Amino acid sequence: MRDRLVMLEIRPGAPINEEQLGQSLGVGRTPVREALKRLQYERLITTYPRRGTFATEVNITDLAHISEVRQELEPLAAAQAARRATAADRAALTDLRRELEGVDPRRDDAAELMHLDLQVHRAVYAAAHNPYLEDTLVRHDNLATRIWCLFIDRLSDMAGHVEEHGPLIEAIVAGEPEKAAQLARSHVEDFERAIRAAI
């Protein structure tokens, strides 16, 4: 459900029906309510008394706030990943690097590219081995991705944005924290510039 909210498959403002959700997932009301509480904490849904639960609207004015957090924390995560990544982390990142090399902007659709982008971010956060940093960045990256998905039809170089991860992954795998931090900051700044240009 989180992925459907992040990728705007559940449209902003759409109602969320607890009962239908439980049936579609094959779970009872308690797990659904717990999941909805978590999604509300992550600002992906909003609950109004006596009205119900809805997918949160995407508010472009949040872009500056989200970017402010990400510009500080994404470089930290990248640098820590370069320092702390295990052999398994480096292997997973190397596999993602190979996948990036196979990106074909004429063949791959925007949704596939967005999923690949999310995978790379999640792998970097996990490789930093700081669960608090990872949790914070996943939440903010989800919110940034919702903004990205809102403007995806107006963004000219989606493949280029995703391919920017290649040098970042190489720096992490090579154990170069300063370079990884600089590339991560540049990636977040480019993201904000691309969105502002599309508005």
Which residue ranges make up each domain of the chain? 2-55, 61-198
d(CA 47, CA 40): 8
**Average pLDDT of the segment spanning 104-116:** 74
The residue whose two tokens read 């990943």 is 81
The CA–CA distances, whole Å, from 89 to 10, 12, 55, 118, 129 equal: 32, 34, 33, 16, 10
Amino acid at 199: I
Domain 61-198: what homologous superfamily? Answer: GntR ligand-binding domain-like (1.20.120.530)
End-to-end Cα, the chain, rounded Å? 28
Q: Give the tokens for residue 74.
A: 């994404």
The CA distances from residue 187 to 158, 167, 183, 184, 191, in Å, are 12, 11, 6, 5, 6
Query: Which alpha helices (DSSP H) does 26-153 contain, by range?
Result: 29-41, 63-84, 87-101, 110-127, 131-150
pLDDT value at position 16?
93
User: Do the domains at 2-55 and 61-198 have one common CATH topology?
Assistant: no
pLDDT in tens, 121-136: 999 999 999 999 999 9
pTM of the entire structure? 0.87
- H or E element, residue 182: helix 177-198
> Which of 5-9, 104-108, 167-171 has maximum average pLDDT?
167-171
Amino acid making up residue 45: I
Q: What is the pLDDT of residues 51-86, one digit of tens each?
A: 999 999 998 889 999 999 999 999 999 999 999 999
Pick the CATH number of 2-55 from 3.10.620.30, 1.10.10.10, 3.40.630.30, 1.10.3720.10: 1.10.10.10
